[in-house]
Amino acid sequence: MSPKRPLRQVLAARVKQRARQGVHTVVHHAWEWIQRHGEITPHTPGRREFAYLGEGACIGFPTGAIYGEPWISIGDHTLVGTHVTISAGFVPGLDLGPDVIVRIGGSCSLGRGTHIVGHQSIDIGDDVFTGPNVYITDQNHTYGDLHTPIGRQWPENNPVVIGDGCWIGTGAIILPGTRLGRNVAVAGGAVVRGEFPDHSVIGGVPAKILRSHDKENGWQPPLRTDPLMSLDELASLSVDGLEGLQILQDRLRAESAAREGDVLSEEAG
């Protein structure tokens, strides 16, 4: 058996532990305070820089690189996660002309670490959601000159349009010239360039259509399961805040358990 430590050492260890816990609590509370008060909203001084920063919009803190604000418009009730870069132009301080370059619609949600880099025109519709670390740009370098490093060759611009209601998965890259229709789902990690129709699912490198919808035949290939709830039910839950999210979480858990039960039954049979 190990000898007992002197009472003085025991008390000193307890004091040290209490002090460490106190510092931990202070640091985390201070960081929460900094994050809350560092947000950019329509009611903070930072709003004045933007072409438009809508009512209820919020840019999380810490931000990524945000510059060219006079050519950036962010719609009402759009939420921008932390470490998100939104830029217009090459560097701060340039005169980019009379028109908005980066336009983000209302009720969007941009995931943590997303980059939106505009030089000519990036138009993102309403109700567009992105996962973390999505990259969207309307400019790329050319590589036609065999004797000049690609990074030093003259860049080319091509406008980007992302339709209302799109979902862009984690790590997707939206390249210059992309035009997404309404309610297009982009798989995580996809590299997207070109035009894609309304109500399609795209993925891959380069991205291609994996599933699409037409009025006569519905979804092709057909969806595997019926939706967990109707759009009206989902909309009503979103209005209910935390209580509605709890209901949704409970339904998802129940559905997952039911699927596991079906799988076990098939294996047993």
Given pLDDT bands bounded at 50, 70 and 90, which one contains residue 238? Answer: low
Q: Could you give the percent of the chain with pLDDT greater than 90? A: 66
Q: Do residues 59 and 165 both lie within one domain? A: yes
Answer yes or no: is 238 within a domain. Answer: yes
Position 71 scores a pLDDT of 97
Comparing 120-129, 136-145, 243-252, which segment has the lowest mean pLDDT?
243-252
In this structure, of 110-114, 177-181, 199-203, 225-229, the range with the lowest mean pLDDT score is 225-229
Mean model confidence pLDDT for the chain: 89
Same domain, 260 and 170: no
With tokens 């005169």, the residue in question is 95
Domain shared by 110 and 215, yes or no: yes
CA distance 104 to 86: 10
Claim to verify: residue 173 and residue 260 sit in the same structural domain? no
What's the pLDDT at 1? 46
Mean pLDDT value of segment 45-63:
92
> Is residue 129 a part of any domain in this protein?
yes
Do 112 and 92 meet the contact criterion of CB atoms below 8 Å apart? no
Residue 62 inside a domain? The answer is: yes
Cα–Cα nearest to 101, from 78, 84, 83, 123: 123
CA distance 246 to 254: 12
Domain total for the chain?
A: 2
pLDDT of 124 reads 98
Q: Which of 48-57, 95-104, 177-186, 253-262 has the lowest mean pLDDT?
A: 253-262
How many degrees, rounded to 5, is the angle at CA 68 between CA 65 and CA 70?
Answer: 135
Give 269's pLDDT tier (boundaries 50, 70, 90): low
85 and 45 in a common domain: yes
Domain with residue 211: its CATH number is: 2.160.10.10
Does residue 218 sit in the same domain as residue 239?
no
Q: Is residue 49 situated within a structural domain? A: yes
Q: Is the pLDDT of residue 223 over 60?
A: yes
Q: What percent of the chain has pLDDT over 70?
A: 89
Domain range for 66: 33-222
Q: How confident is the model at residue 265 (pLDDT cuts 50, 70, 90)?
A: low
Residue in the block written with tokens 């030093």: 152
pLDDT surpassing 70 at residue 163: yes
With cut-offs at 50, 70 and 90, classify the pLDDT of residue 215: confident
User: Domain check: are 72 and 95 in the same one?
Assistant: yes
Sequential DSSP letters for 196-255: E-SSEEEETTTTEEEEEEETTTEEESPPSS--SS-HHHHHHHHHTTHHHHHHHHHHHHHH
- The answer as to whether 17 is a domain residue is no
What pLDDT is stored for residue 42 in this prediction?
94
Q: DSSP state, 3?
A: P
| Shared domain check, 75 and 52 | yes
**Claim to verify: residue 100 and residue 204 sit in the same structural domain:** yes
How many residues are listed for the chain in this entry? 269
Residues 69 and 40 in one domain: yes
pLDDT at 263: 60
160 and 259 inside one domain: no
